Amino acid sequence: MKFGVVTFPGSNCDQDLLYTFGEILGQRVVPLWHKDHDLKGCDFILLPGGFSYGDYLRSGSIAKFSPIMTEVIKHANDGGYVFGICNGFQILCESGLLEGALLHNNSNRFICDNVYIKAISKSCIVSAKATSKESILAPIAHGEGRFYASDDVIKSLEDNDQITFKYCDRDGKITEAVNPNGSVKNIAGITNKTKNVFGMMPHPERSASNILGSKDGLAVFEGIVEKALA
């Protein structure tokens, strides 16, 4: 399997993903530029965190018009894998590949902190391997990370096992007290109905090696490699 990491103007986590997949996991991974008109034969597309186009409008709302997103959307609609982290999650929601929206944090402040998340879905490749863990330490860094969707959408996400991660405490307990941004039902990540498009606000790539202080996040990527290659 070949992985591709898209860089938009303002991306700042692209190199982290290239390193995680290439150096830590030993996978074939290549950089993709936002003006590219092809995916260079990549099977799995990664949209990194950052501040695409400066987040001057809603986060991700300009990036969805980048030339490469035409190919990313087609790839996803054809059943190909796409994973967006933080700003990448925002781009996926703006592009209509994932339901819901990422709103301003309920504190109206940018939050940069370490949080814990709990893997929920056992049928999604980004969370299935991580369900054996009580919790995963994963940094967050966002101003618009509050996941919101209508009651009907939330029910659909729950019924179809599409909620991949929720904010929790270190022991895996999910409470409003540990919800960092006011996301509905502590939701930190979701997938689409066909479970080939994934988005999450926390950064597992920033906790994928002991040199970063934790390698909890590596379970997310190991699940991708194991399940996608199975």
Q: Which residues are catalytic?
A: 86, 203, 205
Say how many C-beta atoms besides its own lie within 10 A of residue 10's C-beta.
16
Dist CA 64 CA 42 (whole Å): 19
Place of tokens 């008109």: 37
Which residue type occupies 132? S
CA 229 to chain centroid, in Å, comes to 19
Q: Return all residues near 227 (Cβ < 8 A) that are at least 6 apart.
A: 125, 128, 129
Say how many C-beta atoms besides its own lie within 10 A of residue 226's C-beta.
12
The answer to whether residues 101 and 90 touch, using CB atoms and an 8 Å cutoff, is no
Whose CA is closest to 46, among 22, 24, 59?
22
